[in-house]
């Protein structure tokens, strides 16, 4: 009862200044709840964790700021590329030591023909969302293309267009969807093309009764969920969400097709 009385007293007479309705507060709310980069960041964090980086990545923009996770990823994808004797690894690291590491990551990216114009190590240490995502995406893409090249009979580099052509060939055997021109083709939003690819990989795996016309947002999302579910059952490692398909996010759809190609060639 005493606790209830004190709680009531505080609620009615807190002796605190009322919060002002300022633009600063609204801006903070917008930052907290409308992070346009959050979905990609979660997908890229999952991918980094699949490489067994240490420490485990929970929040991408924070957990890569000292450069160590990025350097581990580079060394996994391009073995021997990192001179670990020059890497600052004793945590916690001062900011200038973190930047030395992230500068090394940028140099490695440039050495492997990443597009990093205007990106500096300090941008990664500061967690600038667009620039962090640009670096991690190119690492992930290199990993996918490298895996596909190792699985191909000739061992040559696989391009984005090679992946589009493969998807079109397989989809033709699995359904009636029109060919796509690229991974930004608006026709991908319905999910039907991806279901045709899956059905082409394993005839009969798609139940036509569960496929919607894909005209409404709800129908498109249902098809996208079904495609992801089937892909996982076939053994593909999937990092994208249904929304990435419905909104036609080219980067994430590339990872989806890449994963399907990988299991198709094994």
Q: Which residue has the tokens 């759809």?
A: 253
For residue 209, pLDDT beyond 80: yes
Highest mean pLDDT among 55-59, 121-125, 239-243: 121-125
- pLDDT tens track for 146-183: 989 888 767 678 899 999 999 999 999 988 778 999 99
Residues 6+ apart with CB under 8 A from 152: 158, 265
User: Which one, of 40, 54, 260, 241, lies nearest residue 135 by Cα?
Assistant: 40
In the chain, where does DSSP find H-type helix? Answer: 2-12, 23-33, 38-50, 60-63, 68-77, 95-111, 121-125, 129-151, 160-174, 192-201, 217-233, 242-246, 250-264
- pLDDT tens track for 47-74: 999 999 999 999 999 999 999 999 999 9
Mean pLDDT taken over the chain? 87
């Amino acid at each position: 009862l005493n606790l209830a009385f004190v709680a009531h007293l505080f609620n009615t007479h807190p002796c605190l200044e009322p919060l002002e309705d300022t633009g600063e507060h609204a801006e903070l709310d917008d930052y907290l709840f409308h992070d346009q980069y959050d979905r990609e960041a979660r997908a890229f964090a999952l991918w980094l964790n699949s490489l067994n980086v240490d420490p485990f990545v929970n929040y991408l923009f924070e957990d890569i700021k000292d450069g160590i996770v990025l350097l581990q990823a580079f060394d996994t994808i391009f073995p021997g590329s990192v001179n670990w004797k020059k890497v600052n690894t004793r945590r916690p690291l001062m900011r200038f030591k973190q930047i030395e590491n992230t500068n090394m990551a940028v140099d490695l990216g440039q050495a492997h023909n990443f597009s990093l114009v205007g990106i500096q190590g300090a941008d990664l240490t500061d967690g600038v969302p667009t620039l962090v995502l640009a670096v991690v995406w190119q690492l992930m893409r290199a990993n996918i293309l490298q895996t596909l090249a190792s699985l191909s009979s000739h061992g040559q580099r696989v391009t984005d267009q090679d992946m589009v052509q493969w998807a079109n060939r397989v989809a033709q055997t699995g359904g009636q969807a029109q060919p796509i021109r690229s991974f930004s083709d608006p026709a991908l939003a319905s999910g039907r093309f991806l279901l045709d690819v899956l059905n082409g990989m394993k005839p009969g795996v798609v139940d036509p009764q569960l496929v919607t016309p894909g005209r409404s947002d709800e129908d498109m999302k249902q098809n996208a969920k079904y495609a992801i579910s089937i892909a996982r059952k076939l053994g593909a490692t999937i990092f994208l969400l249904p929304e990435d398909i419905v909104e036609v996010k080219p980067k994430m759809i590339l990872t989806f097709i890449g994963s399907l190609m990988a299991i198709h060639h094994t």
